[in-house]
Amino acid sequence: MTEYVEKLRVNVRISRAGQPVVEGRVSLSQHSAVRPGPETLLELLDPSAGFLPFERTADDAIVLLSRQDIQWVMAGPEVASDLVRPQPFRYTREERVRVTLRSGEDFEGLIQMELPEYLNRISDYLNGTERYFPLRTRRGTYLIHKAAVREIFLYEDSPLPVGEDPDSL
């Protein structure tokens, strides 16, 4: 007999290219596979392929969304931040940016990073293996699929890597 596994249901909005934004719920595991605590939305989205079970608010229908087709996910305002992304030990950088998606949609906000001292640029962070990155905006935190991004405009210059002399460039 199959045992029912309790999940944490969280309200989200999901954007897919060429489609209207949909509202509904996704289910998170009560235990993360990679760290202590519950699974986060960022961890749920990260697999490169497969389908995301999604319950639409409009009609309570369960649909399976292709993870590759998702542009961004935004948690509802009532969702605790530790269910959106793992809590860092300490943010080492913040970059003010404008993100433009291939669909033409624009977002302005902050990308907060936790990087080792030898990797201190936003390009180091964005070139990491994770498929989504969090963007903090006035409307909330978006989890943006890197494959949906056309460009990211930096409002300030990124710092030089540790130990690099600006006069030698």
List, for residues 139-156, the tens digit of each pLDDT value: 999 999 999 999 999 988
Number of domains in the chain: 2
CATH of the domain at 55: 2.30.30
pLDDT of residue 6: 83
Q: Give domain status of residue 131, yes or no.
A: yes
Q: Same structural domain for residues 69 and 124?
A: no
Which of the four pLDDT bands, split at 50, 70 and 90, describes residue 116? low
In this structure, what DSSP letter does residue 148 have? G
Supply the range of the domain harboring residue 53: 7-77
Q: Which position has the token pair 């969090």? A: 134
Number of CB atoms found within 10 A of residue 105's CB: 16
Q: Give domain status of residue 34, yes or no.
A: yes
Q: Look up the pTM and report it.
A: 0.85
